[in-house]
Amino acid sequence: MIYNFAKNASLFPKSHLFISHRLVIHRHMPTQTTTYKGRLGYACLNTILRAQTPSIFCSRTCRLETIRQKGIEYAYELGLQNARDIVPMLRWNEQHGIRFMRLSSEMFPFASHDVVGYSVRDVPGAVEALKEAGDEARRLGHRLTMHPGQFCQIASPRSVVVRNAIRELQYHSEILDIIGLGPDSVMIIHMGGVFGDKAGTIARFHENWKQIPKHIQDRIVLENDEICYSVQDLLPTCEQLGIPLVLDWHHDDILRSEKSAVEYLPRINAIWESRGIKPKQHYSESRKGAETPMQRRAHSDRVQRLPPCQDDVDLMIEAKDKEQAVLHLFKTFGLHPVPDGLPVSEAEQIELYKQAKKPRKTVTKVVLEAETVEGGSKARAKRKRKVKVQETIEDEEDLKSDECEAAQVDPPPKRKSRKTVKKVAIVDESIVQDTEKVTLKKRRKPVDDPLPATSTTAPLAKSRMTRNSLKASMLEIITPTTLVEPVIATLPAEIGEEGVQKVGRRRKAT
């Protein structure tokens, strides 16, 4: 089979096979068999499109400080470009048989922020771009979903967290409403933390659910997690409130219920059917060598199997290699023809990641400031001081979400540091320093609790320490009778007072 792909040949790395700009596709012999006929999808990022120049992806973001400096229009520009890149991603997916994709939650930077937040409809051109993406997805028969972050917790005991969660859900719902793909475009959330009382938290979820507008409720689905809430924990709530449950097979394998996930499928599917929404599930595998529950949480680069799900369910493959993991399953099970050269090899995938992750460039300038004597020159300066001035050029497209969340909180003002002094004991031309510091406030007082000169309290400093390290001002505030005499009492006989006298002579010499 030969697919004419001349116009989009640049979408592939040079290592892929091209003959006269035509993409050669062969139906490879599958190594495993399956009856599965649903849609396989990936989340947020296409590694091939992200690595090309110019990049195509929908998660450009920035720091909150950048918005403050450049204005909210800068966030508008990033969001508009993100929205415009959805269409080429859909077309690439269609050409490779992928008809299910999760959109990035970072599409419009800080749109749900409580201070600089904005409506997606306020972004010039965004509505048109999103509608075009929806029209294209509808024409191709693709499904688009979203997954708000872990911080979106409706059941939190803190009212501010609940308000922020609802605002985050409104932002996601607005995007999906503009795209206009109907109820199948769901947004997945987790129950969140236990907060010391699982039953109380679930009851609080029921109560806070009433605060969410109906049109947003209609898009929400709940997913079991691998730490707090199993399928068994969530299913009663989902049935009572009519919330579809997204079965995550990997999470269920780590945090198991009393029954197997397969036994819960009839009840899970019944909720989806009652809502008229096509069921979706998640599948991933642990990294090789993972043993503990914490190690098993990390997703592998690709998956080698398919779960025992029904044949027509939409399955989101949560793997590090994104679309390459889906193509790997296509090839393994013979689900769809795969172009020669795809999926890329492990070495090629590493190169794709290197191209996608553009390093931040930091330039450090060293400025020499010299204080000169009157009538002198810099060559005869009393002292020189180096001042490092860092000018950082950030690739704001590659900021991680946790960096963005941290940027939302203004750093606390720096406190003026108080002067401190260390306890010291003089022993045979050596210095014993305690790591404990005594904070000096208004008046300096002698240290009342002398430091025993034992090998277990602190390491002995070597005699090579320079005399400048013994500051006269430090020694003056320590009463010798309260510090040295108890030390002498604990010294070995071969050192005794003679050793201390040597140190005394050394002090006089300085």
* N-term to C-term CA, the chain: 90
Angle, helix 261-275 to helix 231-241, in steps of 10 degrees: 20
**Residue 30: pLDDT band with limits 50, 70, 90:** confident
Q: To 5 degrees, how large is the angle CA 196–CA 233–CA 164? A: 60
* pLDDT score recorded for residue 23: 56
* Low-confidence winner among 231-240, 245-254, 499-508 (lowest mean pLDDT): 499-508
Within 8 A by CB and 6+ apart from 161, the residues are 151, 153
CB contact at 8 A, 445 and 436: no
CA distance 213 to 230: 26
* pLDDT score recorded for residue 5: 38
* Low-confidence winner among 242-251, 427-436, 490-499 (lowest mean pLDDT): 427-436
Is it the case that residue 402 has pLDDT exceeding 80? Answer: no
DSSP state of 298: S
Ranges 292-306, 364-378, 451-465, most confident: 292-306
**Residue 360: pLDDT band with limits 50, 70, 90:** very low
If one counts every other C-beta atom within 10 angstroms of the C-beta of residue 295, the result is: 11
CB contact at 8 A, 312 and 38: yes
Q: Give Cα 143 distance to the centre of its chain.
A: 25
- Rounded percentage of the chain residues whose pLDDT exceeds 90: 57
* pLDDT score recorded for residue 211: 97
pTM for this model (two decimals): 0.68
The tokens describing 147, both together, are 């997954």
CA distance 395 to 399: 7
Task: Please tell me whether residue 297 adopts helix, strand or coil conformation.
Answer: helix
> pLDDT tens-digit profile of 116-154?
999 999 999 999 999 999 999 999 999 999 999 988 999
CB contact at 8 A, 228 and 197: no
Alpha helices in 224-276 (DSSP H): 231-241, 249-254, 261-275
Is it the case that residue 382 has pLDDT exceeding 80? Answer: no
> pLDDT tens-digit profile of 176-227?
999 999 999 999 999 999 999 999 999 999 999 999 999 999 999 999 999 9
Look at the block and give the residue holding tokens 């050192």.
495
CA distance 118 to 104: 17
Is it the case that residue 457 has pLDDT exceeding 80? Answer: no
CA distance 269 to 279: 7
Half-sphere exposure of residue 371, counting CA atoms within 13 Å on the CB side? Answer: 5
Strand stretches in 148-278, DSSP E = 187-189, 220-223, 245-248
* pLDDT score recorded for residue 28: 62
Mean pLDDT for the stretch of residues 84-95: 98
Mean pLDDT for the stretch of residues 442-470: 45
CB contact at 8 A, 282 and 318: yes
Mean pLDDT for the stretch of residues 361-377: 37
CA distance 426 to 275: 80
Is it the case that residue 37 has pLDDT exceeding 70? Answer: yes
CB contact at 8 A, 111 and 164: no
Mean pLDDT for the stretch of residues 92-108: 97
Is it the case that residue 379 has pLDDT exceeding 70? Answer: no
Tell me the DSSP string of 28-96.
PPPSS-----S-EEEES--HHHHHSSS---S-----HHHHHHH-HHHHHHHHHHHHHTHHHHHHHHHHT
**Residue 170: pLDDT band with limits 50, 70, 90:** very high
* pLDDT score recorded for residue 291: 78
CA distance 286 to 501: 67
* pLDDT score recorded for residue 288: 83
Is it the case that residue 496 has pLDDT exceeding 90? Answer: no
Mean pLDDT for the stretch of residues 457-475: 44
* pLDDT score recorded for residue 287: 81
> pLDDT tens-digit profile of 287-338?
887 778 788 888 888 999 999 999 999 999 999 999 999 999 999 999 999 9
